[in-house]
């Protein structure tokens, strides 16, 4: 049984002496959302967030396991934090270290073994128990909580909060689904995030309304496989992501909807209809294919063929002609030949992407891909990636240039670098700079695109 120390809990601390937490977020948008919810859970326990690590009493690393050497980067950061902890201890000041997210889930007890300075290791499914874990850690117990929770963590988290004096952003993420049942042979997500779980409709509508009431105008629905979301409506009828989008579109004050990341196998008719019918569903879709070779797709366990993906894209574009496509690609998957790679290049030319992410294959321990034969030489992977990225960049730049002269709605999100300048996002997720001194953050204004830079667009306010 853990013995609590005499250290006062946040509710007992004198005013102005609240503990401070610094959360460093690695990786995907899901982790950004999770970091916000962890901050909410800690706020309910008396913590305030800080953007300055040196001011923090608790540093929490919310980790990602997708990229190569992800775990080693975390251990490197922990080594630096260990020295800070020693210095604080010499001053008689508290300094706690926590590791959350997918590296925490994958490494578990190994983190505590390799870095004893860590107080708490907590997985993506259990971060609602973070305040209790910190209490145990203050009592001298090193806490590792990476079990898949039986309870619904979202039911145990406090409502999303607005920091006093600091308005919530006009855009927000909303996690609707977690985990993945697809088991692509290159991917660790099923092992770190678990099986696919969908949040209930009523819970999502309630959280969405609270976000909109706090000033949010654009919601991005998140999931490791977001279009696998499913649930029941009030009458007990089975519904999917398309139905959820229709319901969210009814919320007064909500102006825009997006969702990510999708799997081609879960793009059903109702979801395509939502793209056709809902103007507030932005015309930008991230739909990863990973490769253009059927042989490699089969080895990846993607369970669709390249031509099926192309036909799906054609159906989506027929429903929403102005839609822009984004994707993910892996080059150099084990066994990939020159012919396989050329098939990927051909698919990219046929689809014509507005944006894409591409990477060299790197094996992840514990995934089936790591045990496949015929791994591709690193030099070959490097050369193929350079060719693919050159083609993708050419397409991205052409898409940006095609915006010049167009008039579009722009949601203003933050101040720009120059006086009177504001920055917003186009319907196609591009960053747009505009001089709009008479407008304010949260407004949706009409602008005319005047120029396209390497990473953003420039605009003027449209007349009339």
Q: pLDDT tens for residues 345-368?
A: 999 999 999 999 999 999 887 899
Judge whether 102 is annotated as a binding position.
yes
Residue 1 is predicted with a pLDDT of 29
Q: What is the mean pLDDT of residues 123-144?
A: 88
| pLDDT single digits (tens) 375-404 | 999 999 999 999 999 999 999 999 999 999
Which region among 50-59, 138-147, 172-181, 352-361 has the lowest average model confidence (pLDDT)? 138-147
Tally Cβ neighbours within 10 Å of residue 193.
Answer: 24
Judge whether 114 is annotated as a binding position.
no
pTM of the predicted structure, to 2 decimals: 0.81
Tally Cβ neighbours within 10 Å of residue 455.
Answer: 9
Q: In this model, does residue 169 exceed pLDDT 60?
A: yes
Q: Domain 10-145's class? A: alpha beta
> What is Dmax (Cα atoms) for the chain?
70
Q: Give the pLDDT band of residue 163 (cuts 50, 70, 90).
A: very low
Q: Between the CA atoms of 300, 305, 310 and 314, what dihedral angle is there, to the nearest 10 degrees?
A: -120
Q: Give the pLDDT band of residue 2 (cuts 50, 70, 90).
A: very low
Q: What is the mean pLDDT of residues 295-299?
A: 98
Q: What is the mean pLDDT of residues 291-296?
A: 98
Residue with tokens 């139905």: 243
Q: In this model, does residue 152 exceed pLDDT 80?
A: no
Q: Is it true that 10-145 and 407-461 share their CATH fold?
A: no
| pLDDT single digits (tens) 249-274 | 999 999 999 999 999 999 999 999 99
Tally Cβ neighbours within 10 Å of residue 431.
Answer: 15
Residue 80 is predicted with a pLDDT of 92
Rounded mean pLDDT of the chain? 89
Q: What is the mean pLDDT of residues 298-307?
A: 97
Which residues have CB under 8 Å from 115's CB, separation 6+?
Answer: 75, 78, 79, 82
Q: In this model, does residue 66 exceed pLDDT 80?
A: no
Q: Give the pLDDT band of residue 212 (cuts 50, 70, 90).
A: very high
Q: In this model, does residue 12 exceed pLDDT 70?
A: no
Q: In this model, does residue 41 exceed pLDDT 60?
A: yes
Q: In this model, does residue 205 exceed pLDDT 50?
A: yes
Domain 159-282, architecture per CATH? 2-Layer Sandwich (3.30)
Judge whether 180 is annotated as a binding position.
yes
DSSP letter for 111, please: H
Which stretches of 140-290 are DSSP H helices? Answer: 153-156, 189-192, 201-213, 241-248, 269-277
CATH 3.30.565.10 given to domain 307-402: no
Q: What is the mean pLDDT of residues 112-131?
A: 89
Which region among 69-73, 300-304, 457-461 has the lowest average model confidence (pLDDT)? 69-73
Q: In this model, does residue 442 exceed pLDDT 70?
A: yes
Q: In this model, does residue 69 exceed pLDDT 90?
A: no
Q: Between the CA atoms of 313, 319, 322 and 328, what dihedral angle is there, to the nearest 10 degrees?
A: -30
Name the residue ranges covered by the structural domains of the chain.
10-145, 159-282, 307-402, 407-461
Tell me what percent of the residues of the chain surpass a pLDDT of 70.
91
Strand order in the sheet with 218-222: 171-175, 218-222, 256-260
Residue 4 is predicted with a pLDDT of 28
Q: In this model, does residue 9 exceed pLDDT 70?
A: no
Residue 11 is predicted with a pLDDT of 34
Domain 407-461 is classified in which CATH homologous superfamily?
Nucleic acid-binding proteins (2.40.50.140)
Q: Give the pLDDT band of residue 227 (cuts 50, 70, 90).
A: very high
Q: In this model, does residue 8 exceed pLDDT 60?
A: no
Judge whether 270 is annotated as a binding position.
no
Identify any residues that bridge with 414 across adjacent strands, giving them in sequence order: 423
Q: In this model, does residue 23 exceed pLDDT 90?
A: yes
Residue 226 is predicted with a pLDDT of 97
Residue 156 is predicted with a pLDDT of 60
Judge whether 204 is annotated as a binding position.
no
- Identify each DSSP E strand in 183-266 by its residue range: 197-198, 218-222, 230-232, 238-240, 256-260
Judge whether 157 is annotated as a binding position.
no
Q: In this model, does residue 7 exceed pLDDT 70?
A: no
Phi/psi-derived region of residue 366, left when phi > 0, alpha when psi is between -120 and 50, beta in every other case: left
Cα(65)–Cα(186) distance, integer angstroms: 12
């Amino acid at each position: 049984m853990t013995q609590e120390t005499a250290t006062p809990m946040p509710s007992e601390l004198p005013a102005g002496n609240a503990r401070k937490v610094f959360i460093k977020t690695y990786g995907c948008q899901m982790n950004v959302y999770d970091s916000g919810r962890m901050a909410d859970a800690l706020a309910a326990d008396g913590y305030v967030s800080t953007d300055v690590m040196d001011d923090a009493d608790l540093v929490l690393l919310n980790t990602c396991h997708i990229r190569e050497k992800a775990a080693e980067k975390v251990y490197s950061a922990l080594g630096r934090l260990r020295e800070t902890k020693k210095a604080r201890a010499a001053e008689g000041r508290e300094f706690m270290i926590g590791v959350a997210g997918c590296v925490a889930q994958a490494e578990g007890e190994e983190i505590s073994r390799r870095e004893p300075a860590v107080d708490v290791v907590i997985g993506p499914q259990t971060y609602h128990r973070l305040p209790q874990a910190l209490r145990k850690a203050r009592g001298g117990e090193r806490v590792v909580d990476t079990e898949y929770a039986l309870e619904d963590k979202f039911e145990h988290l406090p409502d999303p909060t607005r920091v006093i004096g600091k308005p919530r952003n006009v855009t927000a993420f909303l996690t609707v689904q977690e985990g993945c049942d697809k088991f692509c042979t290159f991917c660790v997500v099923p092992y770190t995030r678990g099986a696919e779980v969908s949040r209930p409709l009523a819970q999502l509508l309630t959280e969405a309304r609270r976000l909109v009431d706090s000033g949010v105008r654009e919601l991005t629905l998140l999931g490791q496989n977001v279009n696998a979301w499913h649930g029941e409506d009030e009458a007990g009828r089975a519904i999917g992501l398309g139905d959820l989008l229709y319901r969210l579109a009814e919320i007064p004050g909500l102006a825009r909807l997006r969702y990510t990341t999708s799997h081609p196998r879960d793009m059903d008719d109702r979801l395509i209809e939502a793209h056709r019918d809902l103007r507030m569903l932005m015309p930008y879709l991230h739909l990863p294919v990973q490769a253009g070779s059927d042989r490699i797709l089969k080895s990846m366990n993607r369970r669709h063929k390249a031509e099926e993906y192309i036909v799906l894209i054609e159906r989506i574009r027929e429903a929403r002609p102005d839609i822009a496509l984004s994707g993910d690609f892996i080059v150099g998957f084990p066994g990939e030949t020159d012919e396989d790679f050329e098939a990927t290049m051909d698919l990219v030319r046929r689809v014509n992407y507005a944006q894409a992410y591409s990477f060299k294959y790197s094996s992840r321990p514990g995934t089936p891909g790591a045990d496949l034969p015929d791994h591709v030489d690193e030099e070959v992977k490097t050369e193929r990636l350079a060719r693919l990225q050159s083609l993708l960049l050419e397409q991205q730049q052409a898409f940006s240039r095609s915006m010049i002269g167009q008039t579009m709605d722009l949601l203003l999100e933050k101040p720009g670098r120059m006086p009177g300048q504001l920055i917003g996002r186009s319907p196609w997720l591009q960053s747009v700079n505009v001089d709009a001194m008479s407008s304010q953050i949260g407004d949706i204004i009409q602008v005319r695109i005047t120029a396209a830079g390497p990473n953003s667009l420039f605009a003027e306010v449209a007349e009339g």
